Amino acid sequence: MKLAGIYIIENKITKKLYIGSSIDVLGRMKRHRFLLRRNRHHNPHLQRAFNKYGDNNFEFKEIKIIEDYNHLIFCEQFFIDNFSSYKNGYNMCPKAGNILGYKHTPETIVKMKLVQKGCKNGMWRHKYTPEEINAMRLRNKGSGNGMYGKTHTFAVRKRLSEFRKGVEITDEFRETMSKATTGEKNGMFGKRHSIKAKESIKKKLKERGGYKGEKNPNYGHFWKNETREKLKKTIRINGGRYGDKNPMFERTKIPKSDWELIFQQIKSGEKEINQIAEKYNVCRGTVNNLLIRLERKE
């Protein structure tokens, strides 16, 4: 969701500011950073300072969210005057202004397209090298990320939530997203959370009060009838999901010969469920289910 407002670009060393306004504050700040990193910014004063002091010494942040677009210029001018960003900062003009509401003629749009087409485009036939990709990742990691150490306010989260309501996701989009996160493309492919990571997740859940009831992000959501039918159909085709037909069967199977030993070790306190789960490469739930089953037999 686009948020209109006023933003600043601050030099942490000299404390000089660049003040601007936009109907899309986050997008505008990203654009500034993109151009500065490529030494192509339209403001030479700001570009020279960025080259001299470095990326890490500049902070990009919004200072005021404005609902009425008509107040943007007035508020920007107020902050330019208040912080003296023209005389003692990076603003090149003493007066705030924008081209909000201006529309290019069809002829101008065609000309702009032609200028950026084919070999005239700066990215024409350019492919990023692995080194460039890694450099971009590092630039947007940690303190280089615009949202590092920040959280959206309740008002912003509410707006984002309202913006997403009623948005329908097509089957094609779902299929594309599924392919993009299936198998080796999934970040957790072939990995398992360590005991330390699991404990950390549990601790955070406890601090938040758990995920029960309305705190669960899926609270009030139900599978569509179409989705239910698809799942049923898939299970029927595969001949059910019981025993060795379950894709998790081989991975979660604990040898029967070890059942009694595991039961005695946990009952006596010699070992914990976490240790057993890690030893057999299974989840805690599998061990818990086994214990319940053996207790019933007794």
Which tens digits make up the pLDDT trace of 182-228? 888 888 888 888 888 888 888 887 777 666 667 676 777 777 788 87
Residue with tokens 């299929």: 175
Largest CA distance in the chain: 85
10 Å CB burial of residue 137 (0-12, 13-18, 19+) is exposed
pLDDT at 54: 92
Measuring CA to CA, how many Å separate 136 from each of 28, 121, 207, 244, 250? 18, 21, 34, 45, 41
**What's the pLDDT tens digit per position in 147-168?**
888 888 888 888 888 888 877 8
SS3 6: strand
pLDDT at 237: 62
Report domain extents, the chain: 1-101, 103-147, 254-298
In the predicted model, is pLDDT for residue 251 greater than 60?
no
In the predicted model, is pLDDT for residue 6 greater than 90?
yes
Q: By mean pLDDT, which of 97-106, 185-194, 226-235, 245-254 is the weakest?
A: 245-254
Percentage of the chain beyond pLDDT 90 is 22
What is the rounded distance in angstroms from the CA atom of residue 58 to the CA atom of residue 60?
7
**CATH superfamily membership of 1-101:** GIY-YIG endonuclease (3.40.1440.10)
Average pLDDT, the chain: 83
pLDDT at 240: 58
pLDDT at 274: 82
pTM: 0.41
Residue 91 contacts residue 19 (beta carbons within 8 Å): yes
Query: For residues 203, 204, 206 and 207, what is the CA-based torsion angle, rounded to 10 degrees?
Result: 120
Summarize the confidence of residues 252-264 as an average pLDDT. Answer: 80
The two tokens of residue 95 are 């007066």
Q: How would residue 175 be classed by pLDDT, with cut points 50, 70 and 90?
A: confident
